[in-house]
Amino acid sequence: MNPYLVPGLVAVVLVTVGIGVYGLRFARTTSDFLVASRSVSPAWNAAAISGEYLSAASFLGVAGLILRYGVDVLWYPVGFAAGYLALLLFVAAPLRRSGAFTLPDFCQVRLGSPLLRRLASVFVVFIGCLYLVPQLQGAGLTFTTVTGGSYAWGALLVGVVVTANVALGGMRAITFVQAFQYWLKLTALAVPVIFLALQWQSDGRPHVAPPAGTAFPAATSVVIEQDALVDGVAVKAGTQLSFDAGDPVPAVSTVDARFDADWLLPGGDGSLFATYSLILATFLGTMGLPHVLVRFYTNPDGASARRTTLVVLGLVGTFYLLPTLYGVLGRIYTPQLLMTGRTDAVVLLLPEAALGGGHLGKLLGALVTAGALAAFLSTSSGLLTSVAGVVFTDVLHAGRSGSVRDFRLATVLAASVPVLLSLYLSNMDVSQVVGLAFAVAASSFCPLLVLGIWWRGLTDVGAVAGLLAGGGASIAAVLITVLGPPLDGWLADAVGQPAAWTVPLAFLVMVAGSLLTSRRIPSDVGATMLRLHAPESLRV
């Protein structure tokens, strides 16, 4: 095993807990715990939002997808970043001015309906869990890949560290922890990529998609884990195949991957519908993710919320330049992953594969693994804080005056379900589940926020109907994808990438329902609009 690995991982955990404890010294009241007493500067806040947002799906999943499918999946990083632009254009400043801490709070402020508030809480917990489970699974898979240890220990370890940190330090500590973790993640990908690019230069700049087909860079042996057809020849599970340097990489029937022009040029075998559905889900889903919105409350006013979002867009955009390079270089140096299907591990394995097993390769390998650990820790901390916040206010009915002990109880409650789920669901596909979480958020909270902020005519009945129709349809699609049988043809696209029809459905039902019940428009809608849109300096 890599000798630098354990010190690196221990350092990340210690610094995370250390900053958490340091933050605890300042966290005295419940307000400190929940919203850092609104005293966080935009630069810290933007780094914290970015650190929280860049999850296992971004750090490991994007590079893995690019290694496997090529140019078509570049829409994932573009969409993950563009989601912040949609958030900036339609939500950031008015949401901050509404004074809402969570999405259910926003429902309360805008429409004053207890039923809508409860429904929104259910969606927050569902999306939070849907997003938290794959983070813990990613942690378990990384643990297995890097140390050879058991999956359950990796998932459990990250689960316990995150729960302890959120329960003890609350939001104040989380802000500093997240900001630190953004820079750690950026460094962990940016420094190795410099050495990888130099190595590629000194190897004579090998072609990423050579005309003769993808080939092994060195002698490699691959163990086939399931019965499969390798280049049309049946191979039993457990067979070890050996290849020499320069041998072409064969296609394995159990692993979905693209080769040659399909990989290099757009339009492979994915349909236009699936591409647009993915674009819609990622562009509009970000604003509906519960852990993203909670952060905006820590800005002092609407204008700074806007500026913070712009800085986030810059930080996240910078980060997403890097995973593409890992995916592309993985095509040259780790093509065996295309046979085993463990493409998510490309970021972890590439430094040693390209630079050799010397000290440099091992050191950089430990660095990217530490970055991956930071990715699991930060995103799951943010998710847990927001889910715990909703459990705290809406399930325990503690309100803002609730005690710190209640918040800790809420944290443990909110953490236990996803941790248990992640132990039992070990074979769900990480990037796909994250994509589904975006689709649910885009078809439930996006219409609610956009219509609630910009349209006076929204009513509580319309909002409830829209949430149930759009959110319900997308949740049904998620459950069928995760639990149901495999589907074929257009039905597979419509269920696997549901956003293209569930988002318009949610908007349509919300508008129609509101128009039909226009007598229920809240009488204070004018005052609410003033509060959402007028600059704070005019507060009367």
Q: Which residues bind other proteins (CB under 8 A)?
A: 71, 74-75, 77-78, 81-82, 84-86, 88-90, 93, 264-267, 272, 275-276, 279, 303, 306-307, 309-310, 313-314, 317-318, 320-321, 324, 454, 526-527, 529-530, 533-535, 537-538, 540
| Distance from chain centroid for Cα 314 | 17
Residues 26, 27, 28, 29, Cα dihedral to 10°: 140
Element (H, E) at 212: none
Q: The tokens of 391 are what?
A: 């459990």
CB of 303 to other proteins, least distance (A): 6
CB of 419 to other proteins, least distance (A): 35
206/266 with CB nearer other proteins: 266
104/270 with CB nearer other proteins: 270
Q: Which residues pair with 230 in a beta bridge?
A: 233, 252
CB of 448 to other proteins, least distance (A): 17
Please report where in the chains the tokens 């039993």 appear, as a residue: 236
227/524 with CB nearer other proteins: 524
CB of 66 to other proteins, least distance (A): 9
Report the alpha-carbon distance of residue 519 to residue 523 in Å, rounded. 10
Three-state DSSP class for residue 235: strand
Report the alpha-carbon distance of residue 360 to residue 343 in Å, rounded. 23
CB of 537 to other proteins, least distance (A): 6
Please report where in the chains the tokens 């900036």 appear, as a residue: 88
Q: The tokens of 167 are what?
A: 């329960």
Please report where in the chains the tokens 């204008």 appear, as a residue: 303
83/462 with CB nearer other proteins: 83
Q: How many Cβ atoms sit within 10 Å of the Cβ of residue 154?
A: 25
| Distance from chain centroid for Cα 174 | 17
CB of 62 to other proteins, least distance (A): 11
CB of 261 to other proteins, least distance (A): 9
The answer to whether residues 367 and 192 touch, using CB atoms and an 8 Å cutoff, is: yes
15/529 with CB nearer other proteins: 529
95/339 with CB nearer other proteins: 95
Closest CA to 174 of 328, 282, 294: 294
Q: Supply φ then ψ for residue 222, to 5 degrees.
A: -125, 130
CB of 405 to other proteins, least distance (A): 39
11/310 with CB nearer other proteins: 310
172/306 with CB nearer other proteins: 306
